[in-house]
Amino acid sequence: MKTDLRCRDLISDLDFSKEEVETILDVAFDLKRKRALGEPHPYLRDKVLAMLFFFSSTRTRGSFEAGMAQLGGHAAFIESRTTQISHGDTEKEMGEIFGRYFDGIAIRHVDWGIGNRYLNLVAEASRVPVLNMQCDFYHPHQCLADLMTIIEKKGRDLRGRRMVVSWAYASSYLKPISVPQSLILQMPRFGLDIVLTHPDEFKLMPEIMDQAREQARKYSTGFEVMDDMEAAFKDADIVYAKSWGPLLTTADPEKGKRIQDQYTDWITDERKIALAKQDAIYMHPLPADRNIEVTDGVIDGPHSVVFDEAENRMHVQKAVMALTMS
For the domain that residue 119 is a member of, what is the CATH number? Answer: 3.40.50.1370
Interval 141-156 mean pLDDT:
98
Query: Does some domain include residue 197?
Result: yes
**Average pLDDT across the chain, whole number:** 97
Lowest mean pLDDT among 2-6, 50-54, 74-78: 2-6
* Separation of CA 28 from chain center: 16
Domain that holds residue 282: 141-309
pLDDT digits (tens, 9 = 90+) for 60-103: 999 999 999 999 999 999 999 998 998 999 999 999 999 999 99
The two most distant CA atoms of the chain are separated, in Å, by: 55
Contacts of 96 (CB under 8 A, 6+ apart): 125, 126
Same domain, 157 and 290: yes
CA atoms within 13 A on the CB side of 74: 7
Please give the angle made by the CA atoms of 226, 228 and 233, to the nearest 5 degrees: 90
Examine the pLDDT at 56 and tell me if it is beyond 90. Answer: no
Same domain, 125 and 188: no
Tally of structural domains, the chain? 2
Cis amide prior to 176 (ω within 30 degrees): no
Burial class (CB in 10 A: 0-12, 13-18, 19+), 85: middle
pLDDT-derived band at 173 (thresholds 50, 70, 90) equals confident
Same domain, 64 and 181: no
Query: Does some domain include residue 77?
Result: yes
Examine the pLDDT at 2 and tell me if it is beyond 90. Answer: no
Same domain, 210 and 67: no
Query: Does some domain include residue 6?
Result: no
List Cα–Cα distances, 120 to 11, 16, 32, 133, 294, in angstroms.
8, 15, 30, 13, 34
* Separation of CA 2 from chain center: 22
Same domain, 116 and 21: yes
pLDDT digits (tens, 9 = 90+) for 260-274: 999 999 999 999 999
Examine the pLDDT at 1 and tell me if it is beyond 90. Answer: no
List Cα–Cα distances, 308 to 71, 130, 243, 281, 315, in angstroms.
20, 26, 20, 11, 11
Same domain, 60 and 183: no
Judged by DSSP in three states, 56 sits in: coil
Same domain, 98 and 184: no
Query: Does some domain include residue 87?
Result: yes
pLDDT digits (tens, 9 = 90+) for 181-232: 999 999 999 999 999 999 999 999 999 999 999 999 999 999 999 999 999 9
